[in-house]
Amino acid sequence: MFYVQLKDRRWNKPKSPVNKAVSTCKPSVVEAINEKSFEFALSKTREYIRNTQQACYLEFRLFS
């Protein structure tokens, strides 16, 4: 079956170093905006995938 539920999966996982230094400085305004933009884009992408999967699933049931 081609209908696959993708939950909390990222295709491009960043490779982080094992001993990552803890940042003591406060993130800048631009970094905060970029983080919010990234989270918004990620949520919209997940919503689009979920809607597409649901449409395919419902169409499959409708025409079978």
Average confidence (pLDDT) over 43-51: 96
Indicate the number of domains in the chain: 1
Residue 4 domain-assigned (yes or no) = no
Q: Which residue has the higher pLDDT, 7 or 29?
A: 29
Residue 20 domain-assigned (yes or no) = no
Place of tokens 């094992």: 18
pLDDT digits (tens, 9 = 90+) for 24-36: 777 788 898 999 9
pLDDT at res. 27: 73
pLDDT at res. 12: 62
pLDDT at res. 51: 95
Q: Would you say residue 18 has pLDDT above 50?
A: yes
**Host domain of residue 64:** 28-64
Taking Cα atoms as reference points, which of 44, 46, 43, 40 lies closest to residue 5? 46
The per-residue DSSP string of the chain comes to -------S--SS-----SSPPPP-SPPPHHHHHHHHHHHHHHHHHHHHHHHHHHHHHHHHHH--
